[in-house]
Structures are given as structure tokens and as C-alpha cells.
Structure 1
Amino acid sequence: MQQEFSHSQFSFNLDGTDLRISAIHRSGELCPIVFLHGFGSTKEDYADIVRYSSFSNHPFLAYDAPGCGESYCSDLSQISIPFLENVALEVIKRVNFKRFHLVGHSMGGLTALMIAHKYPDRVVSFTNIEGNIAPEDCFLSRQIIQYPYDDAEEFFEHFIERTRHTPAYSSALYASSLRHKVRAGAVRGIFESMVHLSDHADLMSKFLGLPFPKMFMYGDQNNHLTYLNHIQSEGVRLEEISNCGHFPMYSNPSLMWNAIVNFQENAEKSNSTLSEKHVHLDDENKLT
């Protein structure tokens, strides 16, 4: 059977924690794409990129975050959004992507935002799929405060059951695999850091201040988010996915993929135009 992408294990130590990161990736000649999955999901959320010819010849990377999927982490208590940022940078280094489109969902969207804020010169465009940019986005992660349990397994069991009965598209499907995709010991550090950053890190300003094309994707069940009109007025492209809650990759994947490729193609054209303008201005400056 022809393999359409590579499956690799990247082993390294980060701040005293041993990691073995399971990743899928491929090479190509066009602009690379880096995908960061959300809490309770895995790299396979994005494997179907190979099914869409519009992405042909685009290198891509998707991997399981520590504590998730097939990845291994020797100390689950170390996992937080800042920790995940550093993991992402190390894995991107391993596949040698210099500049890339960035796509992040939920937890991955917040991680991507922090990376894009710190290293804007490396990012061509940012697709934020309901990643945290305001306190109201913590409808999953804030449960670590709303439903306090000392035992990680007990909290996770109740979290799964609440999620199973959430009246939103794909909630039961998502809940059914949580035990298999996330280690319970990783949940508290992830959730607490997501809440802290959402409440105190001025994520909105960081997001709006990014100097490259930005798209915010959300399910139509979440069109009540209070900041949508504001970020649109600030130049962010909005993409509402029909028949969808928080998980477009499960509820309406074709619409999600088509929106991503259209946005990224426009971003590349914009980037090319800006580069040509800079070259022209440089030439004019040389003449004078």
C-alpha cells in the first residue's frame, strides 16, 4: 500500500521531562502547514489533508501533544500551554519547517496563538478553530474549577459524562474516545493554564495584533460568541461552519477543509504581493 505520509516518533528531553512525540508529516515544494489538535483529539484529526487535491505538494505536520494519543510524556504534571509551545517548536524544528501556515483547534489554537505572537516572522497565516482568545472560551477547561475533584481519574470520568450529554454536534462522538486519547494526569495542568491565559494574558490583543492574515473558524451553534463582530471589524476573516458545534473536523470536515485551503491560498497571494512591493520599494531606494 502506498504511504501518503510518514509516521515518525521524535524523542527528546524538555526541561527534564522525557518525551516521545508521535507525528505524521510529509514533504513537498509548497508552503508547509502545521496543525495543532485540540484537547481530547489527536493528529489524525488532520490526516485527511491527503484526501484533498487542493493541498497537493504542501508539506504538513500534525502530532499528538504530550499526554495525548500515541505520544509519551514521563511527567504528565509538567504539561501546560507554555510547555506545549516549546514542544511544538521542537517538533517543527525536527521537520525543518522555516515558515508555515499555522492551524490550531481549541487547546491547539491557544498554543498556536502564543507561538504566532512570539515568532510572527515564521507564520504565513493563522487559522484559529475556536481557540481561546477570551475568557468566555473556557467552556470546557473552566470545568476544572467549577467541578473540583482531588482525584484526576474521578474528575475525568465526570467530565466525559457531562460532555457526552452536551447538546451540540459531535459531543457524544468526541466523549466516546476521550479515555483513549488523553491521560487523566495531563488534564489539570492543561485546563488550569488555559483558564489562566484566557483570563489574564490579554489574548484578544495578541490575536488582533498578529501581522499576517488571520481566520477565526467556529460552528454555527457557537455564533453567540460576543467578540465575533469585533474581530471581524479588526480585519479577521470569519468562517462559520454549518451544522457544527466545537468540532468542525467531526461535524462538517469538507466545509472545514475547503475554508482552510481558500484562506491559505489568499494569504499566500497577499504575501506574494507584499513581497513584490518590498522589492519594488527597495529598487526605488537604490535608485535614489
Structure 2
Amino acid sequence: MPASPTFTHTQVPLTIAGVQLNVAAIHREGELAPIVFLHGFGSSKEDYADITLREEFAGHPFLAYDAPGCGESRCSDLDAISINFLMQTALHMLEHFKIRRFHLVGHSMGGLTALMLADQFPQRVISFVDIEGNIAPEDCFLSRQIVDYPSDDPEAFFADFIERARHAPAYASALYSASLRHKVRAGAVGGIFRSMVELSDNADLMGSFLGLPCPTMFMYGEQNRSLSYLPHIQDHGVRLAQIPACGHFPMYSNPGAMWQQIADFHTSCNG
């Protein structure tokens, strides 16, 4: 007998600013407050599927989906993709699933998208777990490669990016690199990275993050404990969660610690 499904997999057709999308999502229903997950660059919705195996989250509905240009999602115009476009996608997905108020979890690119969403619609966000999402220029260690290694050929840039990731001296970097070509369309990379750099360098992301009215947690890998702003955000009431034996990818390097930190944080929010 096949196992009972732990979540539902679906495709959601959307049109945003004239761009046709077919967004691949996983979700489940529940009686408690929903949790919305936004994955990072080169990751996917499946990063968060194990929530169905964690007793701490029993009863919580959840939504995770592949961003446009990523995973199983399809996009008719890859050049249109930016952080703002990803935020608009999030709004449309929330509307489709009739999610009004929710716990928000975002990693890296998804953390920045989540921050923009929470900043514009603070009344809808119950809590925000930011997993190394961009809040300062120093966070562009991946995206700034679009500036540091310029190329007119998206395929060539992406191939070189993958090779650099393969040899980066950080936990899970080689594992991360192995699936990049399967999880991201090369034509989407430039717009995503340029908008991440632009926002990190010129928008007041730190002010937006510290100004959120909801409880916030910033999660980071042990290898990134030297981030200069950690004491500053802690002094402003942000809960810090350092994940041992981990770099930028807690969902690959130490998922048990990641889930436990999120669960403990949500428990404190419900308090």
C-alpha cells in the first residue's frame, strides 16, 4: 500500500504584470496559524517538506512553493524576475490559498523577499524567521558575484558561479552546487542578483527589519557568526539563532537544529 500523502503538491497558474506563471507548490491544511516558507536562491520548496515529519508543527497548515525561474515553477519572461516580482508572486500565492495572517520564514533570497513583504504588510505577519536573508551590504556574498564576475552570457556566468560554489570553503556548498543547474534557469539569475545587490546597497533594509512590529528571529550558520550586525540587531530585540556545524544552508547542514529553533521561537511567540 502506498503511504498516505503528507502534503498536497499543486500547480498554480498566475499572471503578474503580464507575465504568465505556473507556480509549483506544496501545502497542507490545519487548524492553527499557517506558516509560509520562501526558499533561497538555488533551493526549492522541498527544503521545508520535512515540517510534516516534525511533531512540533502538528496542526499548522503550511505553504512552500518554487519561486518563478526556480524548481518546477514556470515563467514566460525570465527577464522580469526581481525581488519585487518575487514579492508580488508571494502576494498572489497568499491570495490563492486564502492565507490572511501567517508565520513567515525566509532563507537568503527568500528572506529578503519576506522582509519586503513584511515591511509592506506588517499587520499580516505573526512572526518572521529570517534565515540569513539580506539586511546589509555584506550579505551579498552570493548575489554580488553578478558585479564581481561580469559576463554578457547568462549561461557562462551561471556555469562559473556553480563552479565557485562547488569549491567554496563552507558547509554544504558542494552539495548546494550539485543541484543548481536543475533548480534555477540561467536567464533568471541576473535579474534576481542585481535586484538583491541594489536593495542591499541602497535600501534601508536594516531599518525595515528592526522596524517590524512582529517578533523576529535571525538564524545564521556558525561559520557566519562574524556578521558585523549581529550584536546590533540583538540589542534591538531580535532573537538570534546560531546553528552549529553550518554555513549558509541550515536546511542541508543541520536541519534538526533549524527546525528546533523555529519551533522554539513559534512557541515563544504564542506564549
TM range (shorter): over 0.9
Q: Which amino acid aligns with 2:254?
A: N
Residues 178-257 of structure 1 aligned to structure 2 (within 5 Å) = 178-257=180-259
Q: Distance in 2 between matches of 1:173 and 1:122?
A: 35
2:235, 2:110 → 1: CA distance? 24
Q: Distance in 1 between matches of 2:269 and 2:125?
A: 11
Structure exhibiting the larger radius of gyration computed from Cα positions = 1
1:3 is the counterpart of 2:5:
yes
> Which of residues 155, 158, 181 in structure 2 aligns to 1:156?
158
Distance 2:220 2:104 in 1: 16
State whether residues 124 and 268 of structure 1, in contact with CA within 8 Å, keep that contact through their aligned partners in structure 2.
Answer: no
Other-structure match for 1:123 = 125
Q: In the TM superposition, what is the alpha-carbon distance from 1:92 to its structure 2 partner?
A: 1.1
Deviation, 1:153, is 0.1
Any conservation in 2 of the 1:104–1:127 contact (CA below 8 Å)? yes
Aligned to 2:16: 14
Q: How far apart, in 2, do the equivalents of 1:265 and 1:79 lie?
A: 35
TM-score (norm 2): 0.99
Q: Distance in 2 between matches of 1:93 and 1:266?
A: 28
Q: Which stretches in structure 1 are left out of the alignment for 5+ residues? A: 270-288
Q: Distance in 2 between matches of 1:94 and 1:43?
A: 17
The answer for the alignment partner of 2:66 in structure 1 is 64
User: For 1:84 and 1:44, how far apart are their aligned partners in 2?
Assistant: 18
Structure 2 letter corresponding to 1:65: A
TM-score normalised by length of structure 1: 0.93
1-structure distance, mates of 2:181, 2:16 = 25
Residue 104 of structure 2 is matched in structure 1 by 102
Q: Are positions 1:263 and 2:246 aligned together?
A: no
Q: 1:91, CA displacement in angstroms? A: 0.6
Counterpart residue number, 1:273 = none
Code of the aligned partner of 1:73:
C
Q: Which amino acid aligns with 2:180?
A: L
The answer to whether 1:37 aligns with 2:39 is yes
Over aligned residues, Cα RMSD in angstroms?
0.4
Q: Deviations over 1:209-233 (max 9, x none)?
A: 0001000000000000000000000
Alpha-carbon displacement from aligned partner over 1:48-104 (angstroms, at most 9, x marks no partner) = 001101100100000000000000000000000000000001011111111000000
Q: Which amino acid is the alignment partner of residue 57 of structure 1?
A: G
The runs of at least 4 consecutive aligned structure 1 residues that moved more than 6 Å come to: none
Q: Structure 1: how far apart are the matches of 2:127 and 2:9?
A: 25
SS in 2 for 1:30: coil
Q: Matches of 1:61 and 1:92 in 2, distance apart? A: 9
Provide Cα deviations, 1:122-167, integer angstroms capped at 9, x if missing partner.
Answer: 0000000000000000000000000000000000000000000000
Q: Which amino acid aligns with 1:7?
A: H
Equivalent residue, structure 2, for 1:274: none
Shift of 1:37: 0.0
Gap runs ≥5 in structure 2: none
The aligned length equals: 269
How far residue 2 of structure 1 moved from its aligned partner, in angstroms, is 0.3
